[in-house]
Structure 1
Amino acid sequence: MNTNNVDIDTAIVTDAPSGPPLAVQPSRLRVISKRAIDQLDYDPAMVLQAVERAYLGLGNGESDNPRKLKSEPPSRHSVAYSMLGRDGGRRTVGFKTSYKHDPAHSRERQKYYTTLLLFDDETGLPVALMDGSLVGSLRTPAVSALIARACAPRARSVLVVGTGTQGRTALPLLLCALPNVERLIVHGHFGEGIEAVRRTLTRFHPQRDIEVSSDLEASARDADIVLGVAGAGAPEAVRHAWLKRGALAILVGYGIHADALHRADYRIATSQAQMQVTGLDLVDEQGQLPPVDAELPDILLGRKGARRSEDEVVFAFNSGMVVTDIALGRVLAEAACAKGLGEEVELW
C-alpha cells in the first residue's frame, strides 16, 4: 500500500508539538505542489485519527474554527471560500482558499484550485504552502466515517451516491471506522467513476468489491447508511420516504433530497454555523433550515447523543471544517518535507 515507504503514522502519535520538520528561515516558505503531494501515500487509520483529534480539540476549546467566508456571483458559475483556523493540538495556524469555476456543472470544463498555508504557532515559523486537494479529498470522507461510527455502529450496508473525488475515497475510510459492513453499494452515472471507486477500494481492501446500483430508490431502501457525495449536476436524489427506519443519511455534496433533512427524526451537523453558509440549497419554502440536535464535536466528546433511539432516521450534514484540513495538512506537510519534496522560496 505504501509504495513510497513514508511513515506518516508517527506524526500524530503524540499531542506534543513537533516544530517545523526542517530548519527554515523566517523569510522563506516551502511550497509543496500537487505533484509532490501525490507522491505520498496515506493510511486510512492515520487519516481518521488526525481528523478525530482535530474535532476533539475543537470541542474542548483547544482549537478554533471561525465561520467560513463565501463568494458566489448571481450566475453561480463559480464559488470561492476563504477559511482560517487553529489546531491547538499540533500548534498550527492555517489559511485555506478554495475556488471552483464550474460552467454548467461540466466535469470536463470544471476548474478547481485549493491551497493550504500553514504556520507553526509555537515557533512562529511558516510550515508550508501546499496544494490542498489531497487533504480535502481525505478529511471529508473521514468525517463521514466518524459520523457513521457514532450513529450507525451496527450498520451492515452502505450506499454511496456519486463517484467523484469524495465517492472514490469514501469506502476505505468508512471500512476503517466500520469494518463489519458487508454490502458496499455505489450509484453513479459514469463508468469511469465507478471503476475508480472500485480501484480505490481494492487498493486498501483487495478482497472486497462494490455492488453497482441501477435503481437508486431500491438501493436506498436496502441501505443502513446513505452517503450523498454526488456533484451539483446529479440527476437523482434519495428521498426521505426511501430511507428505512434507523437509517443514517450523510450529505456531503448532492444526492440526498432536502426533505431527508426536514423530515428526519434527528439532525446532526459538523457545525451549525457552517451549515448556514454551505447548506442554503436545503432551505424550505420559507427559506429556513431546521435546527440541529447535535454537533459532531459534542458527540465525539460524549456531551450529546448520536441519536435518541435505534429506529430514528438520522440526517447528518457534513460541511468541511478547516481545522481538520490543518491537522491533516500538517501531517502530510511534514511527511513531504522529510522526503525532501517541495521547494523553498524567499517570499518575505
Structure 2
Amino acid sequence: MTTQNPIQPFHVIPGAVVKDILNGLRHATIDMVAQTYLTHERGETVNPDSYFLRFPAQPANRIIALPAAIVDSEGDQSVSGIKWIASYPDNIKSGIPRASAVLILNDPETGYPYALLEGALISAVRTAASAVLGAWWLNGQNRHAATLSIIGGGVISRNILETFVADDWSFDSVGIHDLNAESAQALAEFGEQLGLPDVRLLSLEEALTADIVVFATSAGEPYVKGQGTFRPGQIVLNISLRDIGAEIIEESYNYFDNITHCLKANTSPHLAEQQYGHRDFVTGTVAQLIRGDLHVAQDKPLIYSPFGMGILDLAIGRMIHDIAVAAGTAIVIPSFFGEERRW
C-alpha cells in the first residue's frame, strides 16, 4: 500500500514575483501585521530572540537570524521558519541596498522547508506596515498630519512613504533628511512621484519639528539628544531604534511591538533602561492599543519602537507563497530533497 508523500513541493519565489504581489497588497499587509500582533498577544506564536552574527574586523556589518513560528488556534494558519538578513551599510557606496535577505518557510507538520523567498522586500514592507499601523493608532486613528518628516533616505523610507500613500494618508508637506545628499534627493523625487505635496529637503533640526517624525537610518548610536527635543503629542516612529538619546525615551510615552525584544541590543529604549535602572518609561504595545487595553495620552511625546518580529515576515511570506503557487509564478524545484522515504 502506497501512502501519499506528506512532503510539500519546494518552491523558490524570486524578488520580482515578491515585488509584483506586494505592490497590490500594501493595505492588506497593514491588516496582516495588525492581526499577527494580536495573534502574538494571545500567545499563539513563538518568537525567540534575534541572533546576531557580527564581525570583529567589520563592526558595522551584521547578519541576523530571526527564527519564529505562528501556531494559530484555528490550525490553518500555522507556519514556522526563519529570516536571514544581512546589513552592510557600506553597500550604498556601491549603489546597492544596505540589506539583503532570504526567508525560509517550514511545514509545521513535518518540519520540512517548502519555500525560499527573497526576503529583503518582505522585510521592508512589513516594517513599513508596522510603522504606518503605529502612526495610525498614535495619531488618534486619523490619517492626516500637517507635516511628516523622514530621516534616512533608503529602501525602508521608500516603503514607508508608499505604505502611507496606499493607506490613504494625507499631509500638507513632507520633509526629507539624509546625510547623503544623493539619497535625500532620490527619496524626495520618489515622494513627488507618489503624488505627495510640498516635498522638500530639510536640515536635521527642521526635520525634528514635524508632527510625525520617522527615523529609518543605519545609525549605530544616538545622535539626537537632549530633553525637550520633541513636544507633547508629537509622534516619533523610531524604526531604526538607535537614533535618539535615552533621556528622550525617558521623558516620553513609549510603545513597542514586543517590549522584551526591544529592550536589548543597545536600542535607545535599552540604553534608557541601562541609564535609569528601570522600565517606567514603557507604556505598552501596539497590540494593547488595538485591543483597547490602552489609550493614547497627549501630554508627552509619543514614541513607537518596533524591534521587528520574525512572525511578521512569516505571515506575509506565507501569504505571498500561497498567491504565487496559485498563480503559477513560484518556481518549483523537483526532487529538492535527496531522500524522501525512509525505505
Gaps of 5+ in 1: 1-22
CA RMSD of aligned residues (A): 3.2
SS in 2 for 1:107: helix
Partner residue in 1 for 2:341: none
Q: For residues 15 and 149 of structure 2, what CA distance do their matches in structure 1 show?
A: 30
Whether the aligned pair in 2 keeps the contact of 1:169 and 1:200 (CA below 8 Å) is no
Equivalent residue for 1:224, pick from 206, 211, 214: 211
Equivalent residue for 2:147, pick from 157, 160, 163: 157
Q: CA deviation at 1:342?
A: 2.4
Change (3 A) 1:286 1:52: closer
SS in 2 for 1:241: coil
Q: For residues 316 and 279 of structure 1, what CA distance do their matches in structure 2 show?
A: 16
Partner residue in 2 for 1:31: 12
Equivalent residue for 2:119, pick from 132, 135, 157: 132
SS in 2 for 1:274: helix
Q: For residues 198 and 218 of structure 1, what CA distance do their matches in structure 2 show?
A: 15
Equivalent residue for 1:107, pick from 92, 105, 108: 92
Change (3 A) 1:335 1:84: same
Identity %: 19
Instruction: Report the TM-score when normalising by structure 1.
Output: 0.79
Larger mean Cα displacement after TM superposition, 67-76 or 128-137? 67-76
Change (3 A) 1:268 1:289: farther
Whether the aligned pair in 1 keeps the contact of 2:8 and 2:114 (CA below 8 Å) is no
Partner residue in 1 for 2:245: 258
Equivalent residue for 2:286, pick from 296, 308, 312: 296
Is residue 186 of structure 1 aligned with residue 137 of structure 2?
Answer: no
Partner residue in 2 for 1:213: 201
Whether the aligned pair in 2 keeps the contact of 1:237 and 1:255 (CA below 8 Å) is no
Pairing 1:40-51 to 2, within 5 Å after superposition: 40=21, 41-51=23-33
- One-letter code aligned to 1:217: E
What does the per-residue CA deviation read over 1:60-111, in whole Å, with 9 as the maximum and x for residues that have no partner?
2233322222232344142122222223452222211122344xx4522576
- One-letter code aligned to 1:320: G
Whether the aligned pair in 2 keeps the contact of 1:224 and 1:244 (CA below 8 Å) is no
Q: For residues 71 and 162 of structure 1, what CA distance do their matches in structure 2 show?
A: 24
SS in 2 for 1:328: helix
SS in 1 for 2:263: helix
Change (3 A) 1:290 1:229: farther
Change (3 A) 1:249 1:26: same
SS in 1 for 2:228: helix
Gaps of 5+ in 2: 338-343
Change (3 A) 1:212 1:328: same
Q: For residues 111 and 151 of structure 1, what CA distance do their matches in structure 2 show?
A: 29
Q: For residues 177 and 288 of structure 1, what CA distance do their matches in structure 2 show?
A: 38
Partner residue in 2 for 1:9: none
**Higher Rg of the two aligned structures:** 2
Q: CA deviation at 1:323?
A: 0.8
Whether the aligned pair in 1 keeps the contact of 2:68 and 2:81 (CA below 8 Å) is yes
Equivalent residue for 2:304, pick from 304, 316, 332: 316
Q: CA deviation at 1:340?
A: 2.4
Partner residue in 1 for 2:70: 87
Change (3 A) 1:164 1:24: farther
Whether the aligned pair in 2 keeps the contact of 1:268 and 1:293 (CA below 8 Å) is yes
Change (3 A) 1:177 1:151: farther
- One-letter code aligned to 1:31: V
Change (3 A) 1:156 1:311: farther
Whether the aligned pair in 2 keeps the contact of 1:164 and 1:231 (CA below 8 Å) is no
Q: CA deviation at 1:256?
A: 3.5
Pairing 1:168-179 to 2, within 5 Å after superposition: 168-177=158-167, 179=169
Partner residue in 1 for 2:51: 69
Change (3 A) 1:238 1:112: same
SS in 1 for 2:33: helix
Name the count of aligned residue pairs. Answer: 319
Whether the aligned pair in 2 keeps the contact of 1:68 and 1:277 (CA below 8 Å) is no
